[in-house]
């Protein structure tokens, strides 16, 4: 199973980037073919229809293709003001925008339709980013993804990782593994594997 994992953050010491790295390592150990994507590696401006009218940026096209090629995703979302961050919304907005000049991409949901998506979050607070998940799920449903019912919100994330970025608490690892397992299980079934 091809699994795409990314965090909705580009901050250097982001808890969600650490969580995405850890989830990627755990998913590889579970036998998945993992692509760990860093949004910082893509030059994607804030969405603007006037800008798009001049041509969809090349990195948006690259991102669309990567997302399309993976039947299962795990997204690690930060929580800003009780919701997911603008970076994550902007990424989905660009990826879902039809490319009228390219017959292969006139369907805005081609990149996302039928994908199984697991949601993780991490936050220094007590709720672990849970409110960002409650806002992210409807966005994913709107772009025709299947949202895995098992999720995990890592609270007190500043103390949750060791110096190498690994989760310290075995219970946290079990929660992350449960999300991975469900996404891989459902992704394989929906992909007909």
| Residue 129's CATH number | 3.40.50.360
Where helices occur in the chain by DSSP H, the ranges are 15-29, 49-53, 58-69, 86-96, 130-142, 170-190
Inter-CA distances, 45 with 3, 27, 60, 85, Å: 25, 30, 9, 15
- Residue 185 lies in domain: 2-190
Q: Residue 191: its pLDDT value, please?
A: 82
Q: Residue 128: its pLDDT value, please?
A: 96
Give the model confidence (pLDDT) of 101-158 as tens digits.
999 999 999 999 999 999 999 999 999 999 999 999 999 999 999 999 999 999 999 9
For residue 192, pLDDT beyond 80: no
pTM beyond 0.85: yes
Residue 42's nearest CA partner among 78, 73, 6, 13 is 6
Q: Residue 145: its pLDDT value, please?
A: 98
Q: Residue 140: its pLDDT value, please?
A: 98
The count of structural domains within the chain is 1
Give the model confidence (pLDDT) of 60-93 as tens digits.
999 999 999 999 999 999 999 999 999 999 999 9
Secondary structure (3-state) at 129: coil
For residue 42, pLDDT beyond 60: yes
Q: Residue 182: its pLDDT value, please?
A: 98
CB 187 within 8 A of CB 43: no
Mean per-residue pLDDT of the chain:
96
Inter-CA distances, 81 with 101, 116, 187, Å: 37, 26, 31
């Amino acid at each position: 199973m091809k699994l795409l994992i990314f965090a909705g953050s580009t901050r250097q010491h982001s808890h969600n980037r650490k969580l995405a790295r850890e989830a990627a390592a755990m998913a590889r150990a579970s036998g998945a073919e993992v692509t760990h994507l860093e949004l910082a590696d893509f030059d994607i401006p804030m969405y603007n229809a006037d800008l798009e009218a001049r041509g969809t940026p090349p990195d948006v096209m690259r991102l669309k293709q990567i997302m399309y090629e993976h039947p299962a995703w795990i997204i690690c979302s930060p929580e800003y003001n009780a919701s997911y961050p603008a970076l994550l919304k902007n990424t989905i907005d660009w990826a879902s925008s039809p490319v009228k000049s390219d017959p292969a991409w006139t369907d805005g949901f081609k990149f996302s339709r039928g994908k199984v998506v697991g949601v993780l979050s991490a936050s220094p607070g007590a709720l672990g980013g849970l409110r960002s998940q409650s806002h992210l799920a409807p966005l994913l449903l709107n772009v025709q993804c299947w949202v895995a019912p098992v999720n995990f919100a890592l609270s007190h994330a500043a103390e949750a990782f060791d110096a190498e970025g690994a989760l310290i608490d075995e219970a946290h690892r079990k929660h992350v593994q449960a999300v991975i397992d469900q996404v891989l299980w459902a992704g394989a079934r929906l992909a007909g594997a």
